[in-house]
Structure 1
Amino acid sequence: MEAADLHRQIAKITERISGQPLDTRLQDWLNQEFGPDTAAFADLQRTCEAGVAEGWLCQREGGGIRYGRVFKPEVALHGFSVDVVEMADVVGPHHSHPNGEIDLILPRDGSARFDAHPSGWLVYGPGSAHCPTVSGGSALVLYLLPEGAISFTPAGEARA
């Protein structure tokens, strides 16, 4: 497996969601079309697991989290950037999503949850914010960010 495989898989999804509002309807649709019981989901999980094992995903580490931006926003990905993080029973840094965030939750064991959500897709709308949290085990989380927009809250500042 290589990054080009992941790029092709994600481009098929971003083509279908380009221009859609980031809301619960999109979340429901993603879980129906590309959810945990689909071949597309299994393929994405295999590709991400291979990428971590082969060292081309999650190349950086900090605060008990392995992470990395895989693709910057580009036309072929319909303006989305792609990041993948590896987290295990940890709370990540607070950040906001000016344009929203689409998360693909890939538990590495059956009980892991991301922001209290099990395996599947989670959509945060524009202007949302959170401290990303994995509990109950280990998970990979793939993030799609419209225009790559994310804003980390400096340490010590109030959180919305």
Structure 2
Amino acid sequence: MSTKAVFHQTLATLTGQIAGQPLDAALAGWLNQNHGPGSDVYERLKDACTVGVREGWLCEREGGGIRYGRVFKPEDALHRFSVDVVDMQDLAGPHHTHPNGEIDLIMPLTQGATFDGHPAGWCVYPPGSAHHPTVAQGRALVLYLLPEGQIHFTR
């Protein structure tokens, strides 16, 4: 099975566990407890992302110093989440809002790198939230799960 197929299968299992849950601090806590750094799911996703960037099927676009790309559009197999991955180093990305919320998996490539002040692991933004996604203290890959793929960039 290809790395991309394993990646999709791992995400389908994960999204099946969280589908229908409120996007809030309790979900972030559950994700970090059950699928945080060192867990099988975290390590499989980080390995797949690292391989995907190296092979060119992840983060195939670049703009403003950020490598990015939507890997999977919302689909029933992924419980209507889209999947995006960004590769950032010491910068803030474009401001955007999350109409339905956003679930982020932070995978530092530089020890100690953070995403919006969060270390390796998961953070969850509730519906209607907004931010300038910021990686500090090095380089990190960040996987975004967006319900129905909804994201609105501020002009």
Partner of 2:15: 14
C-alpha RMSD over aligned residues: 0.7
TM-score normalised by length of structure 1: 0.95
- Measure the CA separation in 2 of the matches of 1:18 and 1:39: 20
Partner of 1:104: 105
AA at the equivalent of 2:123: L
- Measure the CA separation in 1 of the matches of 2:45 and 2:4: 11
Tell me, yes or no, if the aligned pair for 2:7 and 2:44 is still in contact at 8 Å: no
Deviation, 1:43, is: 1.0
Partner of 1:119: 120
Identity of aligned residues (%): 63
AA at the equivalent of 2:143: L
- Measure the CA separation in 2 of the matches of 1:102 and 1:40: 15
Q: Does 1:42 align with 2:43?
A: yes
Deviation, 1:103, is: 0.2
How do 1:76-155 residues align onto structure 2 when only pairs under 5 Å count? 76-154=77-155
Partner of 1:157: none
AA at the equivalent of 1:17: I
Deviations 1:42-76 (A, max 9, x none): 11111100000000000000000000000000000
Deviation, 1:109, is: 1.5
TM-score normalised by length of structure 2: 0.98
Runs ≥4 residues deviating over 6 A: none
Aligned residues: 154
Deviation, 1:94, is: 0.0
Give the unaligned 5+ runs of structure 1. Answer: 155-160
Deviation, 1:111, is: 1.1
- Measure the CA separation in 2 of the matches of 1:39 and 1:14: 15
- Measure the CA separation in 1 of the matches of 2:38 and 2:71: 25
Deviations 1:14-62 (A, max 9, x none): 0000000000000000001110021211111111000000000000000
